[in-house]
Amino acid sequence: MKHSVIDAGSLELEDKVVTIKRVTKVVKGGRNMRFSALVVLGDRNGHVGVGLGKAAEIPEAIRKGKEDAAKKLINVAIDDNGSITYDYTGKFGGASILLKKAPEGTGIIAGGPARIVCELAGIRNIRTKSLGSNNKQNVVLAAINALQEIKSPGEIAALRGKTVEEISG
């Protein structure tokens, strides 16, 4: 997964923990308990990232997740009415997520993990459907993948060598 480099220091970032898992490793002397935290970071203005942190204590795992997410911020193409520019299906592992453009006033119609990603990306109107696996980590990564692949009309016009008016018809 490619990530565009965005300076996290200049953005007002908000974070939400999607899931915390207790991971047990059986060793000779008994069991080792560790924690894994999936964190989504965003500025509610077109930037969002996801990170995974693992540590012996929950707060440390969350902190590591935030740091990882800050390194992986992406730009999201949002149109005038706070939606995506076109429908797209993102895939990651066994999870697929369908993101559908929505008119003003629709709100965020999405399940738990996808809702967090959309909210922190700054999307106000969208419809989503999670397909395939409902593993939270894979659903979040599929949503990030979809948002990363969506291009703005300006980017599409530049790729085709046309003006925005020519492609929007």
Q: Are residues 93 and 154 in the same domain?
A: yes
Inside any domain, residue 114: yes
What DSSP line would sit under the chain, residue for residue? -------GGGS--EEEEEEEEEEEEEETTEEEEEEEEEEEEE-SSSEEEEEEEEESSHHHHHHHHHHHHHHT-EE--B-TTSSBSS-EEEEETTEEEEEEE--TT--EE--HHHHHHHHHHT--SEEEEEEE---HHHHHHHHHHHHHH---HHHHHHHHTS-HHHHH-
For the chain, 169 residues long, the average pLDDT of each consecutive 10-residue run is 59 91 94 96 94 96 96 92 92 95 93 93 94 94 94 89 82
Q: Are residues 48 and 113 in the same domain?
A: no
Inside any domain, residue 162: yes
152/18 Cα distance (integer angstroms): 28
Q: Are residues 70 and 139 in the same domain?
A: no
115/113 Cα distance (integer angstroms): 5
Q: Are residues 155 and 128 in the same domain?
A: yes
User: Which domain, by its residues, includes 58?
Assistant: 8-74
Q: Examine the fold and report which residue of 45, 74, 103 is the final residue of a domain before the chain moves on.
A: 74
Q: What is the CATH number of the domain that holds 55?
A: 3.30.160.20
CB under 8 Å to 63, separation ≥6 — which residues? 53, 55
Tell me the pTM: 0.90
What is the predicted pLDDT for the residue at 20? 96
Q: What is the CATH number of the domain that holds 138?
A: 3.30.230.10
Q: Are residues 67 and 88 in the same domain?
A: no
Q: Are residues 88 and 33 in the same domain?
A: no
Q: How many independent structural domains does the chain possess?
A: 2
Q: Examine the fold and report which residue of 57, 74, 91 is the final residue of a domain before the chain moves on.
A: 74
Inside any domain, residue 3: no
Q: Are residues 13 and 91 in the same domain?
A: no
Inside any domain, residue 1: no
Q: Are residues 82 and 156 in the same domain?
A: yes
Q: Examine the fold and report which residue of 26, 57, 74 is the final residue of a domain before the chain moves on.
A: 74
